[in-house]
Structure 1
């Protein structure tokens, strides 16, 4: 019962991580304009995401524009797009696989051991999804920090909120996948094959038939086996 409850909790944590991964993928705040001056009055701010670029005005007006051509994007942005989309696809497949193998479901009649293997496969897929979302988020954060400290870069950018959401999503996906793999250990299987051969004890003479006795020779005493003497 404890393992069943832990499976449900792990599955819920993984679902939450997958939802946060979708939010991080859609949000346009992967890179935001950094303000280093002393003035607190900001006219506008620029946000850059995987799919669009937005400009926020001081009046509260936000105008966004989707990236025109995928081929015109940088290799870093194209790789980040591919990894996040692949992470979302693997995550949703892992949800279906894990739901089939949970002990509280009756989707598949494969026995307790078979269900444990299905849940472990779903956990491994969630770990893969976690790595795929962690790589582009950390990679983008590295480039933002490097450009921020580069004196040759004129326009400074800062870490956006989508990056922190992506890190949280990677953490929850990894936690849910690891718990599913660890808490769904299959039960030990019964030994297969023929049972080992056992020696049966020999029965004593008193429990069975009488031991075999050879017939007496002619001209001898049947009891002692000594020759019979004849007295005239």
Structure 2
């Protein structure tokens, strides 16, 4: 029962993390313009993986989608690919987890369900690693430009989408690890049960049906008593006398 509860908790963690990872893609604020050193702020700049926007003091926003994928900078293309891969891995991992969990009635035998659940855990771990790498790469670019004294263009700070992505990545990795550990525990228990052999029947086969406390081995039987046969032969001789 403990492994079943562990799988349920792992499923909740992984699905929650995958939902957070998915929510980072449409989130607007991956990077936000920094107001450090500015006395009067008339507009705020922010952008994500798909567009760059500006919001003036009146609250009106003007956005511009990135015109060409091939013309984008390399780190944005890498972040896009990693986030899309994370979403796909989490989707397939959630399906495999539903099939491989012990509380469901699909997936075949327990051994096959254990393998499917372990595969789901690996998918969620890879999902978390891809999302973590994408958010970290994007944050590294922001911090490098922010602390570069020779960079005089608009500087940005970390947006809310990066923190959401980091949180979802950690949940996916923790849940996937719990899946793998629960399957390892079930395999170890089944292996230990399979190696146990009962030897009581083998020992009982070497004991004769003597009363309790006087059991004698079958291989050490007492020599046969020929007194009755001698008496019968002697009686046969006396018959003719």
Structure 2 alignment gaps of length 5 or more: 207-217, 227-241
Change (3 A) 1:47 1:203: same
- Structure 2 residue matching 1:42: 3-state secondary structure: coil
Tell me how many residue pairs correspond in the alignment: 204
The residue aligned with 1:216 is: none
**TM-score normalised over the length of structure 2:** 0.77
Residue 208 of structure 1 and its aligned partner are, at CA, apart by: 8.3
Q: 1:204 maps to which residue?
A: 220
Cα distance in 2 for residues equivalent to 1:209 and 1:98: 74
Residue 31 of structure 1 pairs with residue 19 of structure 2 = no
Q: Name the one with the larger helix percent.
A: 2
Aligned to 2:190: 188
2:145 to 126, 144, 147: 147
Find the counterpart in structure 1 of residue 10 from structure 2.
Answer: 10
- Gaps in structure 1 of 5+ consecutive residues: 211-232
TM-score by length of 1: 0.80
Q: How many Å separate the matches in 1 of 2:168 and 2:190?
A: 34
Distance 2:71 2:124 in 1: 32
Secondary structure, counterpart of 1:188 in structure 2: helix
- For residues 78-227 of structure 1, the aligned pairs below 5 Å read 78-111=77-110, 113-154=111-152, 155-184=154-183, 185=185, 186=187, 187-189=189-191, 190-191=194-195, 203-206=219-222
Q: Secondary structure at the match of 1:59?
A: coil
* Stretches (4+) displaced over 3 A: 198-202, 204-210
